[in-house]
Structure formats: C-alpha cells, structure tokens
Structure 1
Amino acid sequence: MPYEPPPELNALSLAQVAELVATRKLPPVSQWSPQHHGDSEMIIRADGRWFHQGGEIRRPAMVRAFASLLTQDAAGRHWLVTPVEKLSLEVEDAAFIAIDVRQDGDALLFRLNTDEFVIAGADHPIRSTGDPETPAIYLGVRNGTEARLNRSTYAQLVEIALESGDDLTVSSQGQTFQLVPA
C-alpha cells in the first residue's frame, strides 16, 4: 500500500492534528533494552538528509521507518533502537527539521520533515540556543530527540510572537517559550 502523506498543516485543525498524533503507531523504543550495541554507519546531516555508508537514503518511507526508532540519551548520543539491538548514528545538528508551524487557539502545531506533526507544550518544549543575533530554535519531538526549525518556520514563529506582543515569546498549551537565547 503506497504511503499517503497527511494534508498540509494549514488545512488541519488542532483536533485533527491531535487525532493524527494520537493514532500514529510508534514502536515502544523506550521500553526496549537490547544487549547488542553497535554502529549503524548512518548519519543525519544538518539539512535533514539521511545517509548510510556514504550513500543517501532517498526513500521517504525508509527515513520515516528509521526515524520512528530514534532516541537520544542524556549524553546527547543518538541511537536506533530495536528489540534486539541498539545502534549509534551521527546527527550533525538535530534528528528532525520543523518545516511548518501554525497557531490554532492556544496551541502551536508543527510539521516535521518526516511528515509527522508535533504540538508544542510541556512534553514538546521549544528551546532557543545560540546568541540573540543568530538563535537556533529547537522543538522537542520524542525520546529525547529534537527538530530544528528551518528558516521559514522560524520566521513564521517570530510573526506569531510579534502578533501577541513584542517580547519574542510564544505560548502553546499553557507553556511559554522564549525565542531569544538568554
């Protein structure tokens, strides 16, 4: 059965995005503790492209499958986890890229480069790093992984912040997030 990408973010309500998030079946990687550890020989470039042994993984379905197995540990290392093995991989910046955002009521809805949706909030915080002149904005995804906002998504988020005031903060699901690093 061919993959049907979800509709564009602007065509979806908060309730529809929440339903898509809730119905997505993800592997329970946080419950797996495989004994075998190794190297996947994979890298996720800063632009979101995935490579294995130097060759680009061009099939979006493969990228989505691997992305569903990603975790990041407390030391910042990324892993692909299955019930039988835990394989390291190199991530140049963030495991995902946030490619679109919109506000719906008190929620910020994001679309990732893997066609996944994330609703910012306590479980999916927004954090700002770098310096005030060139901030890097990240969104928590799952299992310790993050998405970096691309330039246009960052610009959209700044517009949302400016519409509600001039302090460059945004709110989502009762949480407030600074867009300028401290």
Structure 2
Amino acid sequence: MANLDELAVALRSHALPPVAQWHPELCGEIDIVIRADGRWEHEGGEFRRSELQMLFAGLLRREGGEYYLVTPAEKLRIRVEDQAFLITLIDVQDGCIELLTNCGERLSLGREHPLQFSWWQEVLLPMVEVRDGLFARFGRSAWYELVGMAEERDGGWWIVSDGEEYHLPDE
C-alpha cells in the first residue's frame, strides 16, 4: 500500500498523550471492552466513531494483566479480551515492513517492534509490542500478507525486516 504513511497521519493526526507520566488513583471501571477481533464496545454497543476509539487508544495503559484508560485526574479499568490493538495493514518500504493498527498507530517491524508469538486459547498468535506493554495481534489478512513475504531457508520460513530476522514457528 503506497499511501500507508498518509493513512496513518490521517487516522492519528495528534501526538499520543504522556499516560506513562500520569498516576491518578483508580476511580473504578467503565464498561468498555476491546474484543479479540479489534472491535471496541461501550455498554454492549460498538463504537460508531473511529475518532473516539483512537482518542481512547491514546489513553490506554496496561499494568500487569489489567488495562486502564488514564488521564491526569482519572484511571478507569476496562476489559481487553486478547490484545489491545489489531494490525490491519502492511506495507514494505526500503526493506522495512511497516504495520498499521486499527487505531492508526504506525510501527516498523524490527528492533523496536519485534515479531513475537503468544498462546491465546490454544492458538499460537503473532503480535508486536506497540508501546509500553500494549500489543497488537495481526489480523488474519495482515498475517497472511506477512506470511506471503516469508523466505524459505534452512528448513524453515523467515521474515526479514529492517535487518532483523524472525523465524516463523511450525505451528
């Protein structure tokens, strides 16, 4: 996708707030759930405005196994079924695989955002750390596109991005 940069800028036209520097007391919970398929829901209904979802994604913090929306004055627990983000688009620029999440965050697969694998409900899933312990799982089409870039070598399959090499597990 030639316009991945433009799409990322359009989706996230503002800098992320410094949530790691904010330490308010826990105020309670809010009925927001991030579903395993990347959908955000509030009180059982799906978010209708992507701008609101992206705003909340910028306020998201993970502490241990819990997820919170954090502002300078409030900290509210939310529920996340699998991972906080979903990788939806992939592009290759100058030997680097660029990833775009469902919340408009652009990542470069490599040293800062390495390809990792984790078990979830007895399935091995690929993911990348987005920031501060928040991970993005690959959406099905993005994963298939990435696998299509793999090179066969030494009896296995490898992904190369930004000088880093990742072996794809056999499972």
1:175 aligns with 2:167: no
| Residue 58 (structure 2) aligned to one of 68, 75, 78 | 68
| Residue 47 (structure 1) aligned to one of 27, 34, 37 | 37
Change beyond 3 A, Cα 1:18–1:153? closer
1:123 aligns with 2:108: no
Task: Give, as a single letter, the amino acid of the residue that structure 1 aligns with 2:71.
Answer: T
Q: Would you say the 8 A contact 2:8–2:105 is kept in 1?
A: no
Task: Give, as a single letter, the amino acid of the residue that structure 1 aligns with 2:59.
Answer: L
Structure 2 Cα separation of the partners of residues 58 and 163 of structure 1: 42
1:6 equivalent in structure 2: none
Q: How does 1:17-166 map to 2 (within 5 A)?
A: 24-73=14-63, 75-130=64-119, 135-162=124-151
Q: Would you say the 8 A contact 2:8–2:104 is kept in 1?
A: no
* Pairs aligned (count): 170
Change beyond 3 A, Cα 1:166–1:108? farther
Structure 2 Cα separation of the partners of residues 162 and 113 of structure 1: 27
Change beyond 3 A, Cα 1:25–1:59? same
Gap regions ≥5 residues in structure 1: 1-9
After TM superposition, what 4+ stretches of structure 1 lie above 4 angstroms from structure 2? 16-20, 163-166
Q: Would you say the 8 A contact 2:91–2:97 is kept in 1?
A: yes
Change beyond 3 A, Cα 1:54–1:145? same
SS in 1 for 2:146: helix
Q: Would you say the 8 A contact 1:161–1:167 is kept in 2?
A: no
User: Where is the strand percentage greater, Structure 1 or Structure 2?
Assistant: 2
SS in 1 for 2:104: coil
Which deviations, in whole Å up to 9, do the C-alpha atoms of 1:74-101 show, x marking residues without a partner? x221111110111111111111110111
Change beyond 3 A, Cα 1:96–1:19? closer
Structure 2 Cα separation of the partners of residues 115 and 165 of structure 1: 36
Question: Percent of counterpart pairs with the same letter?
Answer: 36
Structure 2 Cα separation of the partners of residues 66 and 19 of structure 1: 17
TM-score, normalised with respect to structure 2? 0.83
Structure 1 Cα separation of the partners of residues 33 and 156 of structure 2: 37
2:2 equivalent in structure 1: 11
TM-score, normalised with respect to structure 1? 0.79
Change beyond 3 A, Cα 1:152–1:65? same
Structure 2 Cα separation of the partners of residues 115 and 143 of structure 1: 16
